[in-house]
Amino acid sequence: MGNAATGDSAAELLLRAAALVPWAHYAIAALLLACAFLYRFLELHLLGDLLRGLRGGRVALTFHPTSHVYHRVASKCRSLHGRYLATPWLASPHLQTLFLSISGRPPSFTYRRQLYTVRDGGTIALDWLLGSDCEEADASFCGGVISREDSTPLVVVIPGLTSDSTAAYVKHLVFSMASKGWNVVVSNHRGLGGISITSDCFYNAGWTEDFREIVNYLHQKYPQAPLFAVGTSIGANILVKYLGEEGEGTPVVGAVSICSPWDLLVTNRFIQRKLVQRCYDKALAIGLKGYAKLHQPVLARLANWEDIRKSRSIREFDRHATCVVAKYETVDTFYRRCSSANYIGSVSVPLLCISALDDPLCTREAIPCDECRANKNIVLATTDNGGHLAFFQGLTAGKLCSVLGGASVSRLNYILCGGYHLAGIKDNSSICFPLTSSFHL
């Protein structure tokens, strides 16, 4: 009884002492705890940036010691030997990725649309912007046409998952390259870009047939134009997989992969791991279901529509839609067979791969560093920060999608012109442009 009374007395004393502390102190403590939680939850790195003197982190390059692509091309690219500092108030991969989707005015221009019908009856929208259309900022399309004898470099862009040529980051990328004199065409995925599905085939993360047919068509129609390719996110996975499948047989002479998921199985497990990643998973699943809704009459005939409609994650959507339509036995089978990391060793053209180590969608765990190092045709550039396809910089984040804009063009000029030269087609001096990027990677 005495011990109990003493315990009660101690508890009362503790409560009385706590009551003497001003409530403002508790509010400050709660605010500090909330800030610490958000700092961890959002994976902020502002303090680390401040400790480094706001100098940013260096770009890490991975390449084969005897790589001609590196020694003749990438080693001379200033933007690959600098630093990247994220916008201070976007010092988080999640804030960068979110800001990319809600902010930023893309360049004002109008594509020239071409509809191409592939062998199985499917329709693909090819959206063109020529170098001659971008002599002035915010210029409208002026109806340029490419002649068969035109030798201006031609770049094919493959957008990410459920993205098309109207996405802000795609328009920044396209305009930046076209403004340097390149002819650019966006190869939209089937069923996107406002085009209906006209066959029983849908695109997926490993579907390379459409890109293969588009590349062959462009090469045959414009045989004098050196052909390059840029893939973003899922588009990067498709691009690298295609390059590995074709090996030396591809007409593409150089390529850039930006923020590829690399290993679809590892990436899928990653986005189901933490709460914030699961939010991305649900958001992407909503986007996929929106895409499916556009083509419900066709998809409902090929698969169980109710199961697709009830999908709450990418994996569930792939189980009920992708695997059924594309005839994969299981979701894991689909992910394993379609991961571009499996094809790295067979890439036979100069390839620059750009990834952010803090990418909240495409985990660093999936980046095939050893495989890239073993292939003499590949240079892998990784930054500590950047989010997914964002890479904002500057106090106002005014340099929207800078790695997809000026910086990418700078690197593209060097790596692709180098590929053009290394491929032995002809001297590249007439198509290599000076480094004008303000993005000092």
| Residue 51, in any domain of the structure | no
| Residue 52, in any domain of the structure | no
Catalytic residue, from 79, 163, 233, 355: name it: 233
- Max distance between CA atoms of the chain, in angstroms, equals 102
Structural domain boundaries enclosing 6: 2-41
Give the Å distances, CA to CA, from 338 to 42, 282, 311, 333: 30, 22, 21, 8
| Residue 202, in any domain of the structure | yes
Same domain, 149 and 278: no
| Residue 436, in any domain of the structure | no
The CA-based angle 249-245-285, given to 5 degrees, is 140
Q: Say if CB 131 and CB 424 are below 8 A apart.
A: no
Same domain, 248 and 276: no
Same domain, 246 and 384: yes
pTM of the model: 0.89
Same domain, 252 and 275: no
* Counted domains in the chain: 3
List per-residue pLDDT tens for the chain, 441 residues long: 445 445 567 888 888 887 888 888 889 999 999 999 999 999 999 999 999 899 999 999 999 999 988 888 888 787 788 888 999 999 999 999 999 888 767 888 999 999 999 999 999 999 999 988 776 444 444 445 788 899 999 999 999 999 999 998 899 889 988 988 899 999 999 999 999 999 999 999 999 999 999 999 999 999 999 999 999 999 999 999 999 999 999 999 999 999 999 999 999 999 999 999 999 999 999 999 999 999 999 999 999 999 999 999 999 999 999 999 999 999 999 999 999 999 999 999 999 999 999 999 999 999 999 999 999 999 999 999 999 998 888 888 765 444 444 445 445 555 556 556 555 543 343 333 332 332 333
Q: In 204-255, where does DSSP find H-type helix?
A: 209-221, 234-246
Element (H, E) at 37: helix 23-41
Catalytic residue, from 263, 388, 408, 421: name it: 388
Residue 359 falls in the annotated catalytic set: yes
Same domain, 19 and 134: no
Q: What is the CATH number of the domain that holds 117?
A: 3.40.50.1820
Q: Say if CB 184 and CB 178 are below 8 A apart.
A: yes
Of the residues 293, 315, 338, the one at which a domain ends: 338
Question: How far is 91 from 151, CA to CA, in rounded Å?
Answer: 42
β-pair partners for 115: 125
β-pair partners for 187: 126
| Residue 428, in any domain of the structure | no
Predicted confidence at residue 417, as pLDDT, reads 60
Predicted confidence at residue 419, as pLDDT, reads 57
Q: Which amino acid is at 438?
A: S
| Residue 50, in any domain of the structure | no
**For 410, left (φ over 0), alpha (ψ -120 to 50), or beta?**
alpha
Please report the sign of the dihedral spanned by the C-alpha atoms of residue 136, residue 153, residue 157, residue 74.
Answer: negative
Residue 233 falls in the annotated catalytic set: yes
Same domain, 259 and 307: no
Classify 154 as helix, strand or coil: strand
**How is the beta sheet containing 351-356 ordered, strand by strand?**
60-63, 378-383, 351-356, 252-258, 227-232, 154-158, 183-187, 123-129, 112-117
Same domain, 88 and 162: yes
Catalytic residue, from 127, 210, 358, 359: name it: 359
Same domain, 193 and 332: no
| Residue 411, in any domain of the structure | yes
Same domain, 140 and 277: no
Residue 101 falls in the annotated catalytic set: no
| Residue 158, in any domain of the structure | yes
Same domain, 278 and 355: no
Same domain, 131 and 221: yes
Same domain, 272 and 254: no
